């Protein structure tokens, strides 16, 4: 991902009200981590598992923050239990910012990732989690705002899957 796109992504999160980000880093979007870390308006929390990235973000949301979880799409599998129980059952808005490894538009797709990618959207559908796939920077900021608004309205997780020029 070009640096300019990473900066727009982070600014877009901030403009959408995100002020608390839990994460487990991955390869496609990792440039956003130092940018978030350097921004005093956003709290960045490292975690050891996407399962707890979701539960910590949920706790922060209940405490008044607007939280996002940054993860690889494999983290959706790891955290599916907490996404279902805390996210959906308890009803807590959480924005998922996920690198879409192995998805068709993933520019670095290979035999290592394709199986992982092909199950991501069926898994989100199975969990009842709405999502958008972002492949280019056009209207990026508006789409992030749309996603946060949707998560809050739904009282649940909403996933942004990043591929295309975000995965270069």
Partner 1 sequence: MIRHECLELLAGKITDQLVVTSQSGQRIEWSYLSRHEGNLLVGMMGCAVGIGTGLALALPHRKVIVLDSDGSVLLSLFNLATLGNLRPKNLIVFVFDNGVYSGSRISYPTATAGNTDLEAIARGAGIEKTLTIRDIETFKRKALGALKQNELAFFVCKVKESLMHREIPRPNTDLAENKYTFVRYLERSEGKPIRFIGRG
Q: Is 44 in the site for partner 1 (CB under 8 A)?
A: no
User: Under 8 Å CB-to-CB from 130, ≥6 apart: which residues?
Assistant: 124, 150, 154, 158, 159
> How far apart (Å, rounded) are the C-alpha atoms in residues 122 and 11?
30
Q: Is 85 in the site for partner 1 (CB under 8 A)?
A: yes
Q: Is 56 in the site for partner 1 (CB under 8 A)?
A: yes
CB-based contact 109:102 (threshold 8 Å): yes
Q: Is 37 in the site for partner 1 (CB under 8 A)?
A: no
First-to-last C-alpha distance (Å) of the chain: 5
Which of 8, 65, 108, 119 binds partner 1 (CB under 8 A)? It is 65
Which of 4, 40, 41, 64 binds partner 1 (CB under 8 A)? It is 64
Q: Please state the closest distance from residue 77 (CB atom) to partner 1, in A.
A: 15
Which of 40, 48, 115, 138 binds partner 1 (CB under 8 A)? It is 48
In order of 5, 73, 77, the CA distances from 43 in angstroms are 21, 22, 25
> How far apart (Å, rounded) are the C-alpha atoms in residues 18 and 120?
24
Residue ranges in contact with partner 1 by CB under 8 A: 17, 20, 22, 43, 45-49, 51-52, 54-67, 81-82, 85-86, 89-93, 151-153, 155
């Amino acid at each position: 991902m070009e640096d300019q796109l990473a900066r727009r992504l982070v600014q877009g999160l901030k403009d959408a009200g995100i002020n608390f980000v839990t994460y487990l880093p991955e390869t496609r979007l990792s440039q956003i981590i130092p940018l978030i870390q350097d921004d005093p308006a956003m709290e960045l929390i490292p975690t050891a598992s996407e399962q707890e990235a979701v539960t910590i973000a949920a706790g922060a949301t209940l405490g008044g923050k607007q939280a996002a979880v940054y993860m690889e799409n494999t983290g959706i599998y790891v955290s599916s239990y907490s996404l279902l129980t805390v996210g959906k059952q308890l009803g807590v808005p959480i924005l998922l910012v996920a690198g879409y490894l192995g998805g068709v538009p993933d520019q670095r797709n290979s035999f290592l990732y394709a199986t992982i990618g092909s199950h991501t959207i069926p898994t989100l559908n199975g969990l009842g989690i709405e999502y958008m796939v972002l492949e280019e920077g056009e209207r990026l900021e508006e789409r992030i705002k749309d996603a946060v608004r949707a998560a809050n309205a739904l009282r649940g997780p909403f996933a942004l899957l990043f591929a295309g020029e975000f995965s270069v």
